Amino acid sequence: DMKVTQMPRYLIKRMGENVLLECGQDMSHETMYWYRQDPGLGLQLIYISYDVDSNSEGDIPKGYRVSRKKREHFSLILDSAKTNQTSVYFCASSLRGNQDTQYFGPGTRLLVL
């Protein structure tokens, strides 16, 4: 069963704390993505990873960094979280071919107080 998982599903942090969001996939997809979704703004790409240790900034990378040490895992790190990073974060994965769709995880709802 093809699946993208995200942990945790819900998280409350205080401003200035570090945040680690984890994503896993069991499809051996080369490419993985992190998005955030805010009301009225749709999905905004934070980072894209083409494979292990091959990461590129997306449209809104400021305040975030990522780590991909295994093909099946992709982490999003917020060093010293800010209140404007309160959002829903989605991880996705896809095969490398441009005709291939993305598969999305269930999302992580992050509240930064």
Partner 1 sequence: AQKVTQTQTSISVMEKTTVTMDCVYETQDSSYFLFWYKQTASGEIVFLIRQDSYKKENATVGHYSLNFQKPKSSIGLIITATQIEDSAVYFCAMREGATGYQNFYFGKGTSLTVIP
Half-sphere exposure of 63 (CA within 13 A, CB side): 14
Measured from the CB of residue 66, what is the shortest distance to partner 1 in angstroms?
15
Question: Toward partner 1, which CB reaches closer, 82 or 96?
Answer: 96
Measured from the CB of residue 105, what is the shortest distance to partner 1 in angstroms?
9
Task: Give the burial string for 50-83 (b: 16+ CB within 10 Å, else e).
Answer: eeeeebeebeebeebebbbeebbebbbebeebee
Question: Toward partner 1, which CB reaches closer, 42 or 62?
Answer: 42
- Of the candidates 25, 31, 57, the residue with the CA atom closest to the CA atom of residue 44: 57
Residues making contact with partner 1 (CB under 8 A): 31, 33, 40-43, 45, 48, 50, 58, 88, 90, 92, 94, 96, 98-99, 101-104, 106-107
Measured from the CB of residue 80, what is the shortest distance to partner 1 in angstroms?
27
